[in-house]
């Protein structure tokens, strides 16, 4: 074997050993308790009304109708 082939084999062996050593590092499991999401939401509503000047005077002149 030449030096290049030996170096390639050494690098390949190192990569394989490093990959095998990290194989059991990652563990995925479901949580035991349910996930809680707390949202503090404030909902406000604003009603704005506008009357036409003619409607305003009509209401003032005839308060018994409304």
Q: Which pLDDT tens digit goes with each residue over 6-62?
A: 888 888 888 877 766 666 677 778 889 998 888 888 888 887 778 788 888 888 888
In a domain, 66, yes or no: no
Q: Are 16 and 23 in contact (CB under 8 A)?
A: no
Q: Are 59 and 51 in contact (CB under 8 A)?
A: yes
* pTM for the full predicted model: 0.31
- Residue range(s) defining the domain that contains residue 8: 1-61
In a domain, 47, yes or no: yes
In a domain, 3, yes or no: yes
Q: Are 59 and 66 in contact (CB under 8 A)?
A: yes
pLDDT, residue 33, reads: 92
In a domain, 2, yes or no: yes
Higher pLDDT, 66 or 58: 58
Number of structural domains, the chain? 1
Cα three-residue angle 21-22-27, rounded to 5 degrees: 130
pLDDT, residue 66, reads: 66
- Report residue 39 as tokens: 């949202």
């Amino acid at each position: 074997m030449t030096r290049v082939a030996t170096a390639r084999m050494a690098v390949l062996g190192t990569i394989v050993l490093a990959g095998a050593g990290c194989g059991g590092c990652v563990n995925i499991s479901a949580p035991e308790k349910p996930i809680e999401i707390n949202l503090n939401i404030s909902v406000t509503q604003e009603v704005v009304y506008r009357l036409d000047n003619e409607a305003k005077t009509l209401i003032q002149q005839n308060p018994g109708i409304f």
